């Protein structure tokens, strides 16, 4: 099919294939309706041609879905060919309606109606199954087969006959005949949950899909050995597993299944069957695979618990609503929350409710399911937010004296974690985005330089952890694979803590996954175990000298970790509630640590130290459910949210009116060129194709998560806080993060096209109002807006870097590394006589900045925004921090009260204090 060049290879072609599909069907429906209404032959012919063109568009990738299927599509093509506009329109209307509403998943009528229209026997559901579809979750199974398409209908009917009344789930089958079509179907069809690979199919698709093929070739490279019998199916299994690890893969083969099943090639396969085996076995295996993911051990049990008659004599009067429903005064509590939540409350750990602190039953199984779903070796559920999960991990892996190289901008829970554990933070700086008064992320070079500085000081053995935020609030994603590889080449047993509070969903998007901690741990683990890596390493190592940390070139040298020494030690924390369907505070700690046997004891201690002995049951259940949802529909949800975000970017930046006053910052604006070697400029048309985006996400040091949109409102004369208020009051649009001249718009798995439309409408209304005002008020208004925009967009206060710890908290105040003892500084402030206050406006500050004695912060000072500490206990306060504080116009500053002033540690207390490593 000939498509205009610019239409080929667009990001949206693949990313949005399923929403583009709905659009195509909608267009076809409109065209069909207009054909049916044509009042002259000439119009009829023209409109039929249009229908035929759109139908061809629809048919391009329609073979990837079970509904509407070959028969119904055939009937439509017939109606088109035989000039039957009424029939054609009726069919199109039914199908497009069912696709948009998703009713084909619930309502057998829609499938039946299709059969009736074709004048064929009802063949979808035996009558005894009539009705239950609505109650059974629906999915699709892809069968990749060498058999001729003519046989596919018969094969499908065979499978349909295996359905039983008590099946817990219901599925339909999609047949394809090639590697390419299978890969395509797995990419575009979010209803797929299982794939059956029947040995012997070929590589190339018979369909003309030049744009998609180019993309496919990026994900799936057929290698020479794919001509070997059977090699193609194991290669496809491998590729599908990489694309969507949650899919259940089955293989039917003539090769000796016993031999295959034991080989590495079969690792991604759930089961291997011999061709001639009983098909019922396969049917049951498929249902069983879904059950494994559907099962929510904790939630299922909690539901059962809520239904049992139980007398409670434990704490928690509200359990089973007993103090609520009979009450004269809090009856509305029961009415509002309903019975279930109260019946599901208990303080018992018996009856299968298990104990979060020592799980042996349903919580243990829920955690194992989380580990499987998120690609970790182990998982722990957290019920006090990632704020606590971070403290648990920090305290589990650090002891007093250990050094942690940490992003100074990380969430405050990390900083508090260092106070608690006695670890010494070595603060490193993210690159600044001064124009938007934000920070990006920490360059790899900075992290490596910190390691080399410690090596030069002889303290490298004390560097225990690298602690970074991935992705950042504003959407900067690290390249964790590269960061870890290059750091491990300097110290092979480093532990990495990746705070992925925002990024839990990323596991389920094949685009984002490569930038997650667990995704990188998996990739590196495979790499270092491979024979190819050993060869690469040995060839490289032969020409290498040991690292000289004082050599200025050392930081830029790209080294490789020794495969015999390297350990994969990765911890990832997620605020499940931020990106998935968990209640607030639901969090997960994911572990891939080759040396976890050394950490398990301390981890348990840290978990006990921070976890309530009365964890919230509903929260644990919601984590279980969030996992189920992502394992079954995370792929389509994350693809949809990414698509929506890209469309939103395009709609705003491409809008003739809106773009005069608002814009969404592009990767080019958010990531300096030196960290963006691919040169990618923006998402959305006409900038980057899928292929380019995947390449940039594979290779660039930083990439921008498109789902986090920095919407710049300064040019419209609004500061971030003001604009946030305006969106909430006038348009019912809620956002949470602002900077001086921008707000952050996040798309999430819950967002719809209507949400996007609401935002676009709000921006268009506001832009129109500005235009009107400028037109009415003339040049004065124009100048005023320009001046306001300038003050918001250019006169931005410089963000201060971390200065240093006072020498009283440094073991070696001459060292190039900056780690310091924050804990003693923190506790000094507990004794009021150690502290003094200076007002920000006072002259004393300026005098002390000039002549001393140095001012040393007694506590954390954290303004919101930006939300990270600009002072930490023991830090020397420098002029740029004071300037920043004085210009700061935010209301909420934790650790600072304007009336009192800055809280400092008195110079007399610091005089003569010596820091030693055992503090």
Ligand X SMILES: *Cc1c(COP(=O)(O)O)cnc(C)c1O
Q: Are strands 476-477 and 495-499 parallel, antiparallel or unpaired?
A: unpaired
Concatenated DSSP letters of 325-350: TT-SSSHHHHHHHHHHHHHT--S--T
Binding mask 402-421 for ligand X (x = CB under 6 A): ---------x-x--------
**Residue 9 near ligand X by CB under 6 A:** no
Q: How far is CA 56 from CA 60, 61, 80, 117, 555, in A?
A: 6, 10, 11, 22, 56
Q: Binding residue for ligand X (CB under 6 A) from 501, 664, 671, 909?
A: 501
**Residue 575 near ligand X by CB under 6 A:** yes
Range 546-553, long-range pairs (CB < 8 A, 24+ positions): 547/452, 547/455, 547/490, 549/452, 549/453, 549/455, 549/456, 550/456
Residue number with the smallest Cβ distance to ligand X: 385
Distance separating alpha carbons of residues 676 and 35, to the nearest angstrom: 50
Residues 757-786 that bind ligand X (CB under 6 A): none
Closer residue to ligand X, CB minimum distance, 235 or 391: 391
**Residue 622 near ligand X by CB under 6 A:** no
Q: Binding residue for ligand X (CB under 6 A) from 89, 362, 386, 747?
A: 386
Considering only 156-164, 180-188, 379-387, 434-442, which stretch makes contact with ligand X by CB under 6 A? 379-387
- The edge-to-edge listing of strands for the beta sheet with 192-198 is 170-176, 138-144, 192-198, 248-253, 271-274
- Alpha helices by DSSP H, listed for 189-347, are 210-219, 231-243, 257-261, 279-294, 297-307, 331-343
Considering only 203-211, 429-437, 474-482, 495-503, which stretch makes contact with ligand X by CB under 6 A? 495-503
**CB 138 to ligand X: min, Å:** 33
Considering only 143-151, 338-346, 499-507, 834-842, which stretch makes contact with ligand X by CB under 6 A? 499-507
Q: Are strands 703-704 and 742-746 parallel, antiparallel or unpaired?
A: unpaired
Question: Binding-site residue total for ligand X (CB under 6 A)?
Answer: 13
**Token pair for residue 102?**
């998703």
Confirm if 478 and 470 have CB atoms less than 8 A apart. Answer: yes
Closer residue to ligand X, CB minimum distance, 95 or 466: 466
Alpha-carbon Rg for the chain in angstroms: 30
User: Minimal CA–CA distance to 379: which of 573, 246, 568?
Assistant: 573
**Residue 504 near ligand X by CB under 6 A:** no
**Residue 111 near ligand X by CB under 6 A:** no
Distance separating alpha carbons of residues 282 and 299, to the nearest angstrom: 28
**CB 469 to ligand X: min, Å:** 5
**Token pair for residue 787?**
């001046």
Closer residue to ligand X, CB minimum distance, 587 or 751: 587
**Residue 502 near ligand X by CB under 6 A:** yes
**CB 414 to ligand X: min, Å:** 8
Considering only 17-25, 496-504, 550-558, 878-886, which stretch makes contact with ligand X by CB under 6 A? 496-504
Closer residue to ligand X, CB minimum distance, 387 or 803: 387
**Residue 387 near ligand X by CB under 6 A:** yes
Closer residue to ligand X, CB minimum distance, 390 or 859: 390
Q: Binding residue for ligand X (CB under 6 A) from 467, 499, 811, 819?
A: 499
- For residue 805, the SS3 value is strand
**Residue 385 near ligand X by CB under 6 A:** yes
Closer residue to ligand X, CB minimum distance, 244 or 708: 708
In residues, how long is the chain? Answer: 919
Closer residue to ligand X, CB minimum distance, 392 or 733: 392
**CB 623 to ligand X: min, Å:** 12
**CB 134 to ligand X: min, Å:** 36
Helix (H) or strand (E) holding 545: none
Closer residue to ligand X, CB minimum distance, 98 or 501: 501
Please name the residues in contact with 528: beta carbons below 8 A apart, sequence gap of 6 or more: 561, 563, 566, 568
Distance separating alpha carbons of residues 17 and 187, to the nearest angstrom: 8
Q: How far is CA 474 from CA 256, 481, 507, 633, 736, in A?
A: 52, 21, 19, 26, 12
**CB 588 to ligand X: min, Å:** 10
Distance separating alpha carbons of residues 250 and 254, to the nearest angstrom: 14
Closer residue to ligand X, CB minimum distance, 324 or 580: 580
Residues 804-863 that bind ligand X (CB under 6 A): none
For the chain, report the end-to-end CA distance as a whole number of angstroms. 72
Closer residue to ligand X, CB minimum distance, 501 or 606: 501
Residues 233-262 that bind ligand X (CB under 6 A): none
**Token pair for residue 237?**
């299994």
Residue 662 DSSP label: -
Residues 472-491 that bind ligand X (CB under 6 A): 473
Considering only 358-366, 380-388, 457-465, 843-851, which stretch makes contact with ligand X by CB under 6 A? 380-388
Confirm if 727 and 709 have CB atoms less than 8 A apart. Answer: no
Considering only 52-60, 314-322, 494-502, 524-532, which stretch makes contact with ligand X by CB under 6 A? 494-502
**CB 499 to ligand X: min, Å:** 5
Q: What are phi and psi of 669, to 5 degrees?
A: -80, -30
**Token pair for residue 341?**
């939540």
CA angle 756, 759, 764 (to 5 degrees): 125
**CB 2 to ligand X: min, Å:** 48
**Residue 469 near ligand X by CB under 6 A:** yes
Closer residue to ligand X, CB minimum distance, 253 or 386: 386
Q: Sign of torsion, CA 687 690 691 693?
A: positive
**CB 888 to ligand X: min, Å:** 21
User: Minimal CA–CA distance to 391: which of 315, 237, 499, 278?
Assistant: 499
**Token pair for residue 329?**
């005064």
Q: How far is CA 77 from CA 1, 25, 41, 74, 87, in A?
A: 17, 14, 20, 5, 11
HEC readout, 717-757: CCCHHHHHHHHHHHHCCCCCCECCCEEEEECCCCCCHHHHH
Closer residue to ligand X, CB minimum distance, 11 or 468: 468
Closer residue to ligand X, CB minimum distance, 449 or 738: 738
**CB 867 to ligand X: min, Å:** 8
Closer residue to ligand X, CB minimum distance, 407 or 633: 407
**CB 502 to ligand X: min, Å:** 5
Closer residue to ligand X, CB minimum distance, 266 or 630: 630
Closer residue to ligand X, CB minimum distance, 89 or 387: 387
Chain residues binding ligand X by CB under 6 A are: 385-387, 390, 411, 413, 469, 473, 499, 501-502, 575, 587
């Amino acid at each position: 099919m000939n498509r205009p060049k610019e239409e080929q290879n667009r990001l949206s072609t693949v990313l949005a294939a399923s929403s583009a599909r709905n659009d195509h069907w909608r267009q076809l429906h409109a065209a069909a309706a207009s054909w049916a209404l044509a009042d002259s032959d000439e119009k009829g012919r023209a409109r039929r041609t249009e229908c035929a063109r759109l139908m061809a568009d629809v048919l391009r990738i329609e073979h990837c879905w079970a509904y509407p299927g070959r028969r119904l599509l055939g009937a439509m093509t017939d109606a088109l060919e035989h000039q039957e506009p009424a029939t054609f329109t009726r069919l199109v209307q039914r199908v497009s309606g069912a696709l948009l509403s998703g009713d084909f998943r619930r309502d057998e009528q829609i499938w039946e109606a299709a059969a009736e229209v074709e004048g064929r026997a009802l063949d979808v559901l035996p009558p005894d199954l009539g009705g239950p579809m609505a109650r059974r979750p629906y999915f699709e199974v892809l069968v990749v087969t060498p058999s001729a398409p003519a046989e596919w209908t018969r094969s499908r009917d065979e499978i349909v006959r295996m359905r039983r009344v008590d099946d817990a789930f219901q599925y339909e089958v999609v047949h394809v005949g090639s590697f390419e079509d299978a890969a395509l179907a797995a990419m575009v069809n979010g209803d797929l949950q299982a794939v059956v690979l029947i040995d012997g199919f070929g590589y190339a698709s018979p369909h003309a899909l030049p744009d998609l093929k180019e993309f496919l070739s990026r994900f799936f490279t057929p290698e020479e050995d794919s001509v070997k019998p059977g090699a193609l199916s194991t290669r496809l299994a491998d590729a599908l597993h990489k694309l969507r690890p949650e899919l259940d893969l089955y293989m039917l083969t003539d090769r000796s299944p016993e031999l295959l099943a034991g080989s590495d090639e079969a690792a991604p396969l759930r089961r291997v069957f011999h061709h001639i085996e009983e098909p019922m076995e396969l049917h049951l295996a498929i249902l069983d695979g879904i059950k494994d993911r559907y099962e929510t051990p904790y939630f299922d049990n909690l539901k059962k618990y809520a239904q049992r008659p139980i007398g409670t004599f434990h704490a928690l009067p509200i359990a089973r609503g007993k103090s609520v429903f009979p009450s004269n005064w809090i009856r509305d509590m029961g009415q509002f929350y309903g019975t279930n939540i109260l019946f599901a409350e208990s303080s018992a750990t018996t009856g299968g409710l298990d104990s979060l602190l020592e799980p042996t039953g349903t919580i243990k199984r829920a955690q194992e399911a989380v580990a499987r779903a998120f690609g970790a070796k182990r998982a722990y559920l957290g019920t006090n937010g990632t704020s606590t999960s971070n403290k648990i991990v920090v305290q589990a892996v650090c002891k007093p004296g250990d050094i942690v190289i940490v992003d100074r901008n990380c969430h405050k829970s990390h900083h508090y974690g260092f106070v608690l554990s006695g670890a010494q933070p070595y603060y490193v700086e993210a690159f600044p985005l001064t124009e938007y008064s934000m920070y990006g992320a920490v360059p790899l070079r900075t992290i490596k330089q910190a390691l080399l500085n410690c090596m030069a000081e002889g303290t490298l053995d004390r560097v225990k952890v690298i602690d970074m935020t991935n992705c950042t609030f504003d959407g900067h994603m690290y390249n964790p694979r590269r960061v870890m590889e290059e750091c491990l080449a300097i110290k092979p047993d480093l532990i990495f803590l990746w705070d992925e509070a925002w990024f839990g969903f990323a596991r389920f998007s094949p685009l984002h996954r490569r930038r997650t901690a667990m995704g990188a741990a998996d990739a590196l683990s495979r790499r270092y175990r491979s024979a190819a890596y050993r060869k690469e390493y040995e060839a490289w190592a032969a020409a290498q000298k040991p690292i000289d940390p004082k050599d200025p070139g050392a930081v830029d040298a790209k080294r490789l970790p020794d495969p015999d020494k390297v350990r994969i030690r990765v911890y990832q924390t997620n605020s499940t509630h931020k990106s998935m369907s968990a209640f607030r505070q639901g969090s997960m700690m994911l572990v891939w640590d080759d040396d976890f046997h050394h950490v398990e004891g301390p981890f348990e201690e840290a978990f006990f130290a921070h976890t309530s002995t009365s964890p919230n049951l509903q929260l644990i259940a919601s984590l279980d459910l969030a996992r189920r949802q992502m394992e079954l529909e995370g792929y389509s949800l994350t693809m949809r949210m990414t698509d929506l975000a890209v469309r939103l970017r395009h709609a705003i930046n491409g809008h003739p009116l809106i773009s005069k006053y608002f814009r969404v910052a592009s990767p080019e604006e958010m990531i300096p060129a030196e960290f963006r070697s691919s040169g990618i400029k923006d998402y959305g048309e006409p900038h980057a194709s899928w292929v380019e985006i995947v390449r940039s996400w594979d290779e660039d040091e930083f990439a921008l998560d498109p789902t986090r949109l920095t919407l710049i409102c300064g040019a419209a004369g609004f500061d971030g806080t003001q604009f946030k208020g305006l969106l909430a009051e006038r348009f019912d649009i809620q956002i949470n993060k602002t900077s001086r001249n921008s707000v952050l718009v996040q798309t999430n798995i819950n967002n719809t096209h209507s949400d996007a439309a609401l935002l676009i409408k709000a921006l268009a209304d506001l832009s129109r109002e500005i235009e009107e005002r400028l037109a009415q008020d003339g040049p004065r208004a124009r100048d005023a807006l320009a001046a306001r925009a300038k003050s918001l967009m250019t006169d931005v206060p410089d963000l201060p870097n971390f200065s240093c710890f006072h020498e009283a908290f440094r073991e070696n105040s001459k060292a190039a590394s900056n780690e310091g003892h924050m804990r003693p500084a923190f506790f000094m402030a507990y004794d009021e006589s150690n502290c003094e206050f200076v007002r920000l406006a006072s002259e004393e500050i300026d005098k002390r900045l000039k002549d001393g004695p140095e001012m040393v912060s007694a506590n954390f000072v954290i303004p919101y925004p930006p939300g990270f500490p600009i002072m930490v206990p023991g830090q020397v306060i420098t002029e740029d921090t004071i300037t920043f504080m004085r210009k700061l116009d935010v209301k909420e500053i934790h650790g600072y009260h304007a009336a009192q002033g800055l809280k400092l540690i008195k110079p007399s207390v610091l005089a003569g204090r010596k820091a030693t490593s055992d503090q």
